Structure 1
Amino acid sequence: MQSGLREVAETGVLPMSTLIFHPQSTDLGRRARVETPVCPPVPPTKVSEGPAVTQAAGRGLLRGRRLLVASVAGALLAGAGWSWKQHGFGGASAPTHQYETTEKLVLHTVQRQSLPITITERGTLSSQKETRIQCDLETVPGQSGTRILWLVPNGTAVKEGDLLVEFDSAPLKDRVNAQTVLFEQSRAAQIQATVRLENQKTQNETNLAAARLKVEMAKLALKMYEDESGGTYKIALNDLESKIQEAKNQIKEAQAALKMKAARKHGVETLFKLGYRGKGDLDQAMHEHLSADFALVRSTNALGTAEANRQKLKQYEYPMKVLELTGTISTAERALSQVERDNEALLAQTGAAKTAADRAFATEEEKLQRFKDQLAKSKVLAPHDGLVAHSPDRTPWGRLVAEGELVTERAKILSLPDLTRMQVKLGIHESVVDQVRVGLPATIRIDAFPDVSYRGSVASVAVLPTQDSSLSSDVKVYDVVVTIDEDVTSLKPGMTAIADIHVRRLDEVLTLPVQAILQEEDSTWCYVSTPEGVVRRPLKLGASNNAQVEVLEGLQTEDRVVLNPQAIHDADPSHGFPGA
């Protein structure tokens, strides 16, 4: 024990042989919480920052823990030849206890200073950008899968554009060739359907124009027939009226001529009887009389015929012609409607054929492009620099991914983490996770490179806890991702890292090294060296980190506090040691 206290006096660090682990700690699987804290060397008049641990661990050292003193520590104290006499415990006015020991007490002068609050946790490195390389080739019908012809060796560092994996492309080439034929056939069918549609549109326009022309011609014919000022009916009626008038005039002329021929005949007959005219003159006179009479009959007949024709025109021919022309108009209009419906049906038919041809062409074109894309994917190039990590997953045939093996679509071949941008995945205890926010700065150290630190920041904080199998089932931890905000080299996924998350900083607060503080049940105190001797001073503590704790009540600046209080505590008569 004396050697242990001597080491404390010289280094400020309590030897590991005197560490007492709390039996009720809920996370012993992740860290050992000690009732006598271990800190880096702290000079008596200066506070040493020391390595930080999580605030939860600091609080666990200071609050709500029973101090368990190992029997071996008591035995060491008993054999150290200590002598002391009791003067009582208490605050500044309480009696003091004086100690005689061969070991020198290590003292620390209390000062006000800045107190950085950090949460420290160990985690593992991973890449911020890890690309999954998988088989994106469809399995060709008739094949069980796609065969790997070449695969980059595991652990190879590759550059962007390097070949990672090559699949067997022979079935895909055959598929592309067959699809090209179907594509050309569908394009020919599409062209033919397009021409038919355009021809049908032209034919529809022609048929429609012809049908409309017939309707207009029929209407015009009816209008021409019925026009009272110069229509066909009016012209025919006027012609008959003219013939009737002409016949009447001819009758009058025939009647006059007949009277004249009758008088001449009578004169010739008289002269023939008197012997002044011959037989020939008489016959001629009779013939002329008969001709005049025939002309009168003919004119009379012509008048009757003209009047009958006029009557027929008015009573029969006119209404019949109107009905005929009206029917022609109706027929033309119905033919126009039929043409319009036929045009619509034929246009819809050819349009549907064109749409079907377009869709068939688009389908075949899409399939051809998809097959070409598939063929292009038979060689997978590195999308960025990284380190090749083969997939540990097995194929459906129970074999690892390797050259010559068959894989199915979407099967993972390898992963390619970007080693220049890394991150640390942590598990933060539920007692302090509420203090962690996205954007908080952090400092990251790698176990493999202890002399190098990196700048980082909190990228994400899980909403739900993750059960840690290495801890008690009651312990809840939350996944927190801290990114390294600078390019790195020589780091590998899976390396152990320590992240110090800088929560906040308290300025001008009264601080005390954690190794000066003792706790037992609900009591927290330290030992202060005064001119009258060493006194026990109860404390009220605030925020803390692994090295320092904020003192709210119980101490003042310039107080000199014992940094190796365990020696005094072991000799405390209130704990049942000799002299109590």
Structure 2
Amino acid sequence: MNRPGSNLESSSEPMFHQVAEGPFDHIVLEQGEIESSSNNEVKCEVKGRGGSGTPILSVIPEGTLVKKGETLCQLDSSALDQDAKNQRIIVSSAESAVISAEAAVNKAVIARREYLEGTFLTERNAIVSEIAVAQQALRKAELSLESAERLAAKGTLKPLQIEAEQFSVENAKSNLESALGRLKVLDELTKAKMLVQFDADIETTRAKLESDKNTLGEEKNKLQEIQAQTKACTILAPADGQVVYANKSSGRGGGDFIVEAGALVREQQTIFLLPDPTRMQVKAKINESRISLIREGMPVKIRVNASEYELLGRVIKVNKYAEPGNWWGSNVKEYATFIQIVEPPESIRTGMTAEVRIFVEQIDKALQIPVHAVYETKRHHFVLIREGEKWDTREIKIGATNDKFVTVKEGIEP
């Protein structure tokens, strides 16, 4: 049996293969990259200013093993430091406003009390005294009038003297009525009017105090937010792990992000990954022509390029949708396939390249020939058979295939 497409007349040394049965492994061979299925994403919590990001001042080297709480990165906090300084001044002004408003409330309350217990009582007592004096004057005038009337009856007083006494009585009555009227106005109107004004002053000052307190609270919250943002400029490790940069390449040159001093990071942008070393996996991209062969649970042998030993794994996920292609790439689709590494050693690291051999099918006894011995045309497969000195072209039906051998279902025998 010779290689397909070879020229028997020009080839002086054709290659032959003895058809035989034996164990057959249908393998899909691909390259992949080691990653962790569980990553602590370390993100930028600092808000951008004016639509731009925050510059990185310093960053820990990639690959460093860190403990929880260690510093990973320092972002530029100079603008936030200035904001905090300005905000402290605003908070101090707001605190002064609250103090003034509290004093105004106390002053309004005291003014009301001062009126009720001081000014009002003083005015009322004065009017009450006037009433007492007016009542006494009225009684005195009435007694004087009665005496004058008795004397007039005896003819000892003139009518003009009687009229004078009568005028004194009327004047005393008028003074008493005036005092009583002023007391009534004070008790029923003036007091009520003044209390309404005092109560309004108290409510106004209390409302201003409440407003100033709210303003102070808002300004303090702003200061706390700025301080929290400043604190967030020092990025700490949330857990133990090995530092992996969350570099991104768009493939077009305009959207690349490289973790380094001077790079700008946006709010909620991932800067680092701290992978869980006990949950390592390989992400391999399978060509669309072979993705239909891959199923979850298939066994896998993994060889890490940085080591000489093989690791065991199994397929745990096959993406249903193709990976985004590069703008310069072909139209061939690739599908991400994830292979769990069984008992991953401590020596493997995220980002390492790995060769994966996915065992699609394992047959204990199968008739198989080299893939180079098969010639395909119009979806039919043929091989050359040598019988003695004669050559015969024979059509076969093939089964599973790998990179080296193809199984034969019909057409030839061992």
Q: TM-score, normalised by structure 1?
A: 0.45
Contact 2:40-2:274 within 8 A present in 1 as well: yes
Contact 2:94-2:216 within 8 A present in 1 as well: yes
1:208/1:513 Cα in 2 relative to 1: closer, same or farther (>3 Å)? Answer: farther
Is 2:100 aligned against 1:196? yes
Contact 1:444-1:484 within 8 A present in 2 as well: no
Q: d(CA) in 1 for partners of 2:107 and 2:396?
A: 109
Q: d(CA) in 2 for partners of 1:465 and 1:408?
A: 27
The equivalent of 1:91 in structure 2 is none
The equivalent of 2:262 in structure 1 is 407
3-state DSSP of counterpart to 2:157: helix
Unaligned runs of 5+ in 1: 6-17, 21-68, 81-102, 140-144, 226-231, 259-292, 394-399, 528-533, 556-560, 564-580
TM superposition shift of 1:71: 2.3
Tell which structure's C-alpha radius of gyration is larger. 1
Q: d(CA) in 2 for partners of 1:181 and 1:474?
A: 56
Q: 1:337 aligns with which of 181, 196, 204?
A: 196
TM superposition shift of 1:122: 0.5
1:462/1:215 Cα in 2 relative to 1: closer, same or farther (>3 Å)? Answer: farther
3-state DSSP of counterpart to 2:337: strand
The equivalent of 1:496 in structure 2 is 354
Whichever structure has more strand as a proportion of its residues is 2
1:164/1:242 Cα in 2 relative to 1: closer, same or farther (>3 Å)? Answer: closer
1:358/1:401 Cα in 2 relative to 1: closer, same or farther (>3 Å)? Answer: closer
Q: 2:34 aligns with which of 126, 140, 143?
A: 126
Matching of residues 449-528 of structure 1 within 5 Å: 452-459=310-317, 461=319, 463-467=321-325, 473-492=330-349, 493-500=351-358, 513=367, 515=369, 521-523=378-380
Q: d(CA) in 1 for partners of 2:202 and 2:136?
A: 46
Q: d(CA) in 1 for partners of 2:338 and 2:346?
A: 20
3-state DSSP of counterpart to 2:343: coil
3-state DSSP of counterpart to 1:203: helix
TM superposition shift of 1:336: 3.2
Q: d(CA) in 2 for partners of 1:469 and 1:308?
A: 119
1:309/1:159 Cα in 2 relative to 1: closer, same or farther (>3 Å)? Answer: same
Percent identical among aligned pairs is 10
Is 2:153 aligned against 1:297? no
3-state DSSP of counterpart to 1:427: strand
1:175/1:392 Cα in 2 relative to 1: closer, same or farther (>3 Å)? Answer: closer
Q: d(CA) in 2 for partners of 1:470 and 1:366?
A: 45
Cα RMSD (Å)? 6.3
The equivalent of 2:65 in structure 1 is 159
Describe the superposition over 1:203-242 as per-residue Cα deviations: whole angstroms up to 9, x where unpaired. 2222344556799979x99xx99xxxxxx69x97899589
1:340/1:70 Cα in 2 relative to 1: closer, same or farther (>3 Å)? Answer: same
Q: 2:66 is aligned with what amino acid?
A: E
Is 2:9 aligned against 1:70? no
Contact 1:461-1:480 within 8 A present in 2 as well: yes
Describe the superposition over 1:501-555 as per-residue Cα deviations: whole angstroms up to 9, x where unpaired. 66xx89xx9995454998653557999xxxxxx9x8986x88x46478797xx89
1:401/1:499 Cα in 2 relative to 1: closer, same or farther (>3 Å)? Answer: same
TM superposition shift of 1:478: 2.0
Q: d(CA) in 2 for partners of 1:521 and 1:249?
A: 155
Q: d(CA) in 2 for partners of 1:196 and 1:455?
A: 73
1:126/1:466 Cα in 2 relative to 1: closer, same or farther (>3 Å)? Answer: same
The equivalent of 1:275 in structure 2 is none
TM superposition shift of 1:562: 1.1
Q: 2:283 aligns with which of 408, 411, 425?
A: 425
The equivalent of 2:413 in structure 1 is 562
Q: How many residues align?
A: 376
3-state DSSP of counterpart to 1:335: helix
Q: 1:386 aligns with which of 242, 250, 253?
A: 242
3-state DSSP of counterpart to 2:346: coil
Q: d(CA) in 2 for partners of 1:313 and 1:457?
A: 117
1:436/1:247 Cα in 2 relative to 1: closer, same or farther (>3 Å)? Answer: farther
Is 2:109 aligned against 1:205? yes
Q: 1:386 is aligned with what amino acid?
A: Q
Contact 1:519-1:525 within 8 A present in 2 as well: yes
3-state DSSP of counterpart to 2:302: strand
Q: TM-score, normalised by structure 2?
A: 0.58
1:215/1:463 Cα in 2 relative to 1: closer, same or farther (>3 Å)? Answer: farther
Q: d(CA) in 1 for partners of 2:137 and 2:188?
A: 27
Describe the superposition over 1:61-94 as per-residue Cα deviations: whole angstroms up to 9, x where unpaired. xxxxxxxx432399679x99xxxxxxxxxxxxxx
Q: d(CA) in 1 for partners of 2:189 and 2:328?
A: 98
TM superposition shift of 1:333: 3.5
Q: d(CA) in 2 for partners of 1:306 and 1:199?
A: 59
Q: d(CA) in 2 for partners of 1:387 and 1:243?
A: 110
Contact 2:300-2:357 within 8 A present in 1 as well: yes
